[in-house]
Amino acid sequence: WTVVTKVMCGMPEIIDSLIKMGVKSFGDSRVRNIRRQLGSKPELEAWYLRVPTLSAVEDIVTHYDVSLNSELQIILKLNEEARLQDRIHHIIIMIEMGDLREGILPGKLIEFYECALNLPNIGVLGIGSNLGCMSGAIPQPDQLVQLALYRELLELKFKKKLPVISGGSSALLPLLMRGEMPREINHFRIGEALFLGTNLIEGGTLPGLRDDMMILEAEICEIKEKVLSPVLETSPGIATFAQPTAGNADEPRVGQRGFRALVDIGHLDSDITGITPLDTSYSIAGASSDISVVNLGPDSMGLKVGDSINFRINYSALLRLMSSPYVKKVFVPSIDEFFADPHREQVVLPPLGTVHGTSGWEDSPENGVTELEVDAASRRVPGTEGV
């Protein structure tokens, strides 16, 4: 599996921790993040997870070992750049399976693959799909079986093994845990579930994972008892931002009063619709660019100016928080203290595939996949020149 770290924005402490835990394959879509993350460690593998643009080809070949592709024109450009850099650049051919994001149409697969297969500096590592990331399409076993059949078709027609079927994202994990995942799907691109524990299909948290690894702490800058409904005529055209719903709070009655706390977080810092107070008796009344208003109820709950209110965050909110230069990121305990603790929970990574050097892939023999050995210095797969 490839850990999708783009939401971490290349944060060195997170990346170094994952490396210490044994992660060897990282996925991102920002070249600067990859430079910060992996530096010159040839034993680590970098996947480019956004469909490449022509203007980014040079950077992609320079800094990434694998990219996801659905346009032949871009693959041709990747091949030319890889030739100039004396490298083999590996690709996953993405197939449209119903989410209507990236992917070639299945009816064009054979023609597309034949063109990519014959490029001397492109190594077709396998095929892949994306489900759930844009349209919210729920992955189904029959779609993944179809993906496996596409690989079988290509292998039979072109007499060449394709080691990898990259099935998709965290949305596939419930299928995997229920034992409904076709065995042929042997690679996953996992980000949200790892960092937030999210069960994207059934809701809640996946078994064995946690949803409190990242907490937003916002400081109270005002706390007062006020009426809970505006006393003046309002217009949605005046409000700069759409306001979140009242959450767990009932719609306030005319003239109803309650305590409200203003905290120092706003739309400039995060997706306010994606944050939820840890205390379920609180609700977010609204937010502006840099202030959010929290309804506390009929009592101040002992809170005062300078105290903090903590929030759970979803993926959208986390993405904005991590990319904001205005939000301080704090580790408790520190990374060094965590790894020095002899009683900490140990992490065991599943053997879904072993990376060799920067671009190789080894899979279990029963899948009939040949092993790719890589010269880490040149990133060229020995014996594949002209393939």
| Catalytically annotated residues | 6
Strand partners, 375: 380
Radius of gyration of the chain from its Cα atoms, rounded to whole angstroms: 24
CA 350 from centre of chain: 19
* Residue 250 near residue 218 (C-beta atoms within 8 A): no
Angstrom distance (rounded) from CA 200 to CA 203: 6
b/e 273-286 (16+ beta carbons within 10 angstroms → b) = bbbbbeeeebbbbb
Measuring CA to CA, which residue among 183, 110, 99 is closest to residue 150?
110
Q: Phi and psi of 174, rounded to 5°?
A: -60, -40
Secondary structure tally for the chain: helices H, strands E? 10, 14
239 C-beta neighbours (distance < 10 Å), count: 11
CA atoms within 13 A on the CB side of 282: 24
* Residue 93 near residue 69 (C-beta atoms within 8 A): yes
